[in-house]
Amino acid sequence: MGKRIEGKEIAKTYRENIKSLIEEKVSKGIRRPSMVAVLVGNDGGSISYMKNQQKLSESLGVKYTSIVLDESITEEELIKNINELNEDTNVDGIILQLPLPKQFDEKKVTSSISYKKDIDGLTDVNIGLLYKGDKCFIPCTAKSVIEIIKFVEPNIEGKKAVVIGRSNIVGKPAAQLLLNENATVTICHSRTKNLKDVCKEADILVAAMGRPGFVTKDFVKEGAVVIDVGTTMVEGKIKGDVVYDEVIDIASHLTPVPGGVGAMTTTMLIKNTCEAWEKNVR
């Protein structure tokens, strides 16, 4: 029987450190860190995520502001709003809630965010820095994945890692982060041949497909660390990509859904905000 990885317990240490850092600097007369979330429209998932952001931000001493714009706003007006935030020296971090309504060029709008305030790590500059191996803001879910892996498996070097999924916000950056730790990395996707056989060689398996219940015990090597990034709503409940009850008997460690990677993601967003704040208030 493998061990369940509790994302909240891992996040707890980060949160304590963040709060201590903020209070120490505030006691010296430095203003609190400030994060602004921008939402276009009324996507339910984004609204829920923003509520979680606000709750955690305020509990840790971060000023949180949400800007909700009507879906009828033009792309030019949205970018103008973002540019105003870029120029505001009292704003440390900006997160644009995705997905945007279909009429917007998501890549263009995202790239209008200053890379110095891009706490979700989605601008072209930060993505480029990530793949160069330089200091940058890393997409929060991918950052959560690597921090959880390092918590249970400190020595990643030389391990075989397989990432199922090639999205720009999870799969690709998670693979790059594993590569930066000197793992031997394979990225799989819907067209990968002999997918089960490839996955079964992995010492570390990251499932980030968005296909609930896809990864069964037949995909998993005995003693592997398995990270389930999937969050699909099925009959009113959030389901992961991994069949938990099967895989927990094979894996050495496994993240649950919910309570695993998702529990870390907002904490990583606040951590990125504080890193931007420290540079901004020097």
Is 165 one of the annotated binding-site residues? yes
What residues have CB less than 8 Å from 155, skipping those under 6 apart? Answer: none
Distances (CA, A) of 24 to 11, 12, 35, 275: 20, 18, 19, 15
CA distance 270 to 275: 9
CA distance 77 to 214: 41
What angle (nearest 5°) sits at the alpha carbon of residue 142, between those of residues 138 and 144? 100
Enter the tokens of residue 54.
Answer: 């606000």
CA distance 175 to 124: 17
Enter the tokens of residue 89.
Answer: 């020296």
Is 31 one of the annotated binding-site residues? no
CA distance 168 to 122: 8
Could you tell me if 171 and 145 are in contact, meaning their C-beta atoms sit under 8 angstroms apart? no
Could you tell me if 264 and 11 are in contact, meaning their C-beta atoms sit under 8 angstroms apart? yes
Is 166 one of the annotated binding-site residues? yes
CA distance 176 to 193: 22
CA distance 251 to 243: 12
Strand blocks (E) in the chain:
3-4, 34-40, 63-69, 93-96, 160-164, 184-188, 204-207, 225-228, 232-234, 237-239, 253-254
Q: Which amino acids are annotated as binding site for NADP(+), given as ranges?
A: 165-167, 231
Q: Which amino acids are annotated as binding site, given as ranges?
A: 165-167, 231
